Every structure is written in C-alpha cells, then in structure tokens.
C-alpha cells in the first residue's frame, strides 16, 4: 500500500453564525468569527489517496489527473468565494473547517474511486496553526 498527497490552496471568506441564534449569542459562541461582514482565510488543502502501484506506469495515480479532479470539483468552487453564500456543497451548513473538510471529502470520493484509488485523508489548514483532518 502506498500513499500519495496533492496540495492545493484557495482563498475564501466565511462567517460562523447560526441563523436561529441571536447576533449576541453567535458572538458569544463564535467570537470574531461571527463578524457580520465576514472574514477570510488562505486555506491549504491536502488530499491523500492510497492504493497499489500500477506496474505499467509506476504510479498509484497520475498526479496531473489528481490535480484536475481536485481543481474541477473543489478548488474552482471554493477559490475567491464566500463559503456561506457561493458554494453549492456548503449550502445550509455552518461554514466551519470541520464541516468544510467533510464536504470536500464527499465531493472528491466518487471521482477518486473512479480513478482506481482509495481516498485516505482530506486535510485543510485554515491557518498556519489550525487544521482539520478527515478520514471518512
């Protein structure tokens, strides 16, 4: 079993706020992340797949293909967008990094499987110090 990871990046705005809570309660729970005028991050996305090496190519997967899958199904939908308002796969979800990483997993899973690999991990760095990993 071999593991291979592709890194991509995107910039996006969001706010953490529940619409069923008051502004004061959102501020109490989410702090400045509940700013009504949004805030943004320079996210780093790491997608790790695993499987067996193809003896004909020497690859698990072609990294060019992996880049295209990640960009088409994730980065192009997230980059320079508002996670709360613009991203179809985040509709009706609180735009936390935890929810985002699961939504990205769900976007990639069928395409990675179709390419003959196993999706192992999706990791998103929200800041240099904070990241979330999801293993399905």
Tell if the pTM clears 0.85, that is, is over it: yes
Per the CB < 8 A criterion, the answer to whether 103 and 89 are in contact is yes
Sorted by where each begins, the domain ranges of the chain are 2-134
The torsion angles phi and psi of 52, rounded to 5 degrees, stand at -100, 150
Please compute the mean of the pLDDT values over residues 22-42 and round it to a whole number: 94
The predicted pLDDT at position 123 comes to 98
Cα 69 to Cα 112: distance, rounded to the nearest angstrom: 8
Across the range 125-136, mean pLDDT stands at: 97
Whether residue 126 lies in the annotated active site:
yes
State mean pLDDT over 65-89: 98
Strands of the sheet containing 39-51, edge to edge, are 81-82, 2-14, 39-51, 118-125, 131-134
Catalytic-role residue among 33, 41, 120, 121: 33
Q: What is the model's pLDDT at position 60?
A: 95
Q: How many C-alpha atoms does 115 have within 13 Å on its Cβ side?
A: 24
The one catalytic residue among 28, 52, 72, 80: 80
| CATH number for the segment(s) 2-134 | 3.30.479.10
Mean pLDDT of 33-53: 95
Active site includes 80?
yes
What pLDDT is attached to residue 117?
A: 96
Mean pLDDT of the chain: 96
């Amino acid at each position: 079993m071999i593991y291979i990871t592709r890194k991509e990046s995107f910039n996006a705005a969001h706010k953490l706020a529940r619409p069923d809570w008051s502004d004061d309660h959102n501020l109490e729970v989410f702090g400045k992340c509940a700013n009504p005028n949004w805030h943004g991050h320079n996210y780093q996305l790491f997608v790790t797949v695993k499987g067996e090496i193809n003896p004909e190519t020497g690859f698990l997967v072609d990294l060019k293909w992996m880049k295209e899958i990640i960009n088409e199904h994730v980065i192009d939908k997230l980059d320079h967008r508002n996670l709360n308002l613009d991203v179809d796969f985040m509709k009706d979800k609180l735009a936390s990094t935890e929810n985002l990483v699961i939504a990205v997993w769900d976007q990639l899973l069928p395409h990675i499987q179709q390419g003959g690999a196993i999706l192992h991990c999706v990791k998103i760095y929200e800041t240099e110090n904070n990241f979330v990993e999801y293993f399905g």
